[in-house]
Structure 1
């Protein structure tokens, strides 16, 4: 069975003003790097990776639908002994907020996620993937409005590791550190963020994976504001939930489907969230 890597990031959109990072949002979604074989690349070629997500806070005051169709290109080029890849994920966002006295709805382009380069190494039953993710402020943004973009650049440095274990088992982890730049419309700089994602999986048969996935997130530096705006407290959260992956062979090629449900706990600095995530991965 081919293990497939999913390199993607979504957008959390929260309207609360008393939350971690600017407007309580982040360019990281808890657990969304965690998947089966997350450090294992497919063969050389170009791949289509479509990502769907539905998420809301546990009080059902805000809700978001997100789609991010992506393209990953895996080359045969070697850099420092690692196989080189790149990727691009535009995002389409539908969001609704009724946490206050007014209802807000917004449909529009979200922030793009770019992978300008990554390197993949393999040693026996261990695989490593080192890559840089960049969130570009391409989404709609207007100061003091309900937006689909966050209006600042984020540089997300990631190291993924996958261990193949006896008995058709595996452990995959992702360690990431995000540097956020200033929002030029507000002169507000969200603090740096650390995230850790994991999946513990088992393959009853070669085309089916069952597992547990989750994450840990913490804002590690404080927000700053040159306009004396109220600076949010630092945030922290964990998540956990089941994940299933199925890879049928359709029209001569593998089509990988992944579905997970995640619920946050031990949340500080923003509202607790829950997520349903579906991914489809196939070659062109």
Structure 2
């Protein structure tokens, strides 16, 4: 989910309060809600304005450490509504259609640590916005590329709280998405992303660079329905850093090889495209191979329509 893991969830939950500041991409979270995209993620529609609504629910009961072992029993529940506005212009750039998008999540987060603290927050998360260029090499193959900017717009942030609605730092995300669409056959999508995270000035902590992808694979039934599977793959590719001389997290980052996070998920995915032009899709995904993060399950729903 957007900001779907608590910032302070670390092996330090079993050790000391100061240790809570280090746990993979600060708190084991990412700017992008891994696995949120479903079918059609590489298609930029014709010029016009479009609205999307993502709705999701994330449930986790385990925190994994750097070795993949259980670090803590938790009860983490996050519900997200994320409206997205898409504007595709008449302008051509490098032969493709120029568009812009903006997304602002609304989150309800609850965390209980077994035999430990608990927290609950509700409000606005961090905004995503940026330009995109769409290409259509053939009737079935579509490509979209762009840069997303994640802004620390969350309604509140406190470095001493157990969870927060946003990261409190900027992220620049390079994006390449591809879709192969056949209404009567193979459907395949992938959205590749590389994130560069800036320093959190409240904690002097800088999360490492991240490489991740959302994917779906399905079969079109010829009547608007697509059935298949989908999920995400995530790998942090550089170490976290803490620049302050008195940073409590620095020793933990060094000791655990940079606190690099990792996860993978897969589950059933379905989409329906109406003759009126609107689309609805849904996905359930179960996480595995998790390192330095919470491990759980996510339900995602996505509705798209022209405005």
Q: TM-score, normalised by structure 2?
A: 0.84
CA apart distance, 1:127? 1.6
- Secondary structure at 1:149's aligned position in 2? coil
> 1:39 and 1:62 mapped to 2: Cα distance?
31
Task: Indicate which of 3, 17, 20 corresponds to 2:10.
Answer: 17
Bigger drift between 263-272 and 95-104 goes to 95-104
Matches within 5 A, 1:32-181: 32-33=36-37, 35-59=38-62, 61-100=75-114, 101-115=116-130, 117-124=131-138, 125-139=140-154, 140-145=156-161, 146-164=163-181, 167-181=184-198
The answer to whether the 8 A contact 1:58-1:274 is kept is no
User: How large is the RMSD of aligned CA atoms in angstroms?
Assistant: 1.7
- Secondary structure at 2:178's aligned position in 1? strand
**In the alignment, does 2:229 pair up with 1:215?**
no
- Secondary structure at 1:152's aligned position in 2? coil
Alpha-carbon displacement from aligned partner over 1:112-165 (angstroms, at most 9, x marks no partner) = 1112x1111111232211011111000021121132111001111110112246
> 1:182 and 1:259 mapped to 2: Cα distance?
35
> 1:209 and 1:165 mapped to 2: Cα distance?
10
> 1:223 and 1:233 mapped to 2: Cα distance?
6
Alpha-carbon displacement from aligned partner over 1:152-199 (angstroms, at most 9, x marks no partner) = 011111101122469521221111100000001111000000002221
- Secondary structure at 2:165's aligned position in 1? coil
Q: Which consecutive residues of structure 2, in runs of 5 or more, have no partner in the other structure?
A: 12-22, 63-73
> 1:147 and 1:214 mapped to 2: Cα distance?
25
The answer to whether the 8 A contact 2:5-2:294 is kept is no
> 2:61 and 2:217 mapped to 1: Cα distance?
25
Bigger drift between 203-212 and 65-74 goes to 203-212
- Secondary structure at 1:143's aligned position in 2? coil
Task: Indicate which of 7, 27, 36 corresponds to 2:31.
Answer: 27
Residue number in structure 2 paired with 1:263: 286
**In the alignment, does 2:282 pair up with 1:273?**
no
Alpha-carbon displacement from aligned partner over 1:24-53 (angstroms, at most 9, x marks no partner) = 2111222223x2222112221101101111
> Is the alpha carbon distance of 1:270 and 1:184 closer, same or farther for their aligned partners in structure 2, counting shifts above 3 Å?
same
> 2:273 and 2:188 mapped to 1: Cα distance?
19
Q: Which consecutive residues of structure 1, in runs of 5 or more, have no partner in the other structure?
A: 1-8
CA apart distance, 1:219? 0.5
> 2:183 and 2:203 mapped to 1: Cα distance?
53
> 1:164 and 1:22 mapped to 2: Cα distance?
37
The answer to whether the 8 A contact 2:183-2:220 is kept is no
The structure richer in helix per residue is: 2
The answer to whether the 8 A contact 1:70-1:88 is kept is yes
Residue number in structure 2 paired with 1:240: 266
